Amino acid sequence: MSEYLVGPADEFLPGDRRIIDADGRSIAVFNVDGVLHALRNYCPHMGAPLCEGETRGVMLPGSPQTFRYSERPTVVVCPWHHWEFDIRDGRSSADPALHARTYPVEVRADANVYVVVRSGR
Ligand code: FES
């Protein structure tokens, strides 16, 4: 298991995104409404730098003839073919069998954010 420093937690605001190099592995950390999530910056479709895409909200369930949209940026859009991936669990809305790799994120006693990578991931 390896841990990678992302930066001070108090400088990581909702909506922020940081991309780090973790021994040659590009990983992005997103702050979604104060909760940190880490995704590999590699699209499982064809290998694009997934986490460099725009973030956006999603359509919510509603009654017939109504449209409800959440402004919370919980989705990242792949810059190559525009498939959407949930930042929180890496799941693709285009193909539920495809997942972007996710990693644990921790804020330690030193008030810094770390990404934890288990070996081989
Ligand atoms: S490479 Fe990401 S959707 Fe195709």
Mean pLDDT by 10 residues, the chain (121 residues): 96 95 96 96 97 93 89 94 96 92 97 91 60
**What's the gap in Å between 96 CA and the centre of ligand 1?**
14
Pairing of strands 2-8, 112-117: antiparallel
Distance 83 CA to ligand 1 centre (A): 6
Question: CA-to-CA distance for 16 and 90, rounded, in angstroms?
Answer: 17
Quick one: 43 exposed, middle or buried, by C-beta within 10 A (0-12, 13-18, 19+)? buried
80 lines ligand 1 (CB under 6 A): yes
At the top level of CATH, the class of 16-103 is mainly beta
User: Which atom, in ligand 1's list, is nearest to the CA of 82?
Assistant: 3
Tell me what pLDDT residue 59 has: 87
For residues 27 and 100, is the Cβ–Cβ distance under 8 A? no
Q: How far is the CA of 77 from the centre of ligand 1 (A)?
A: 9
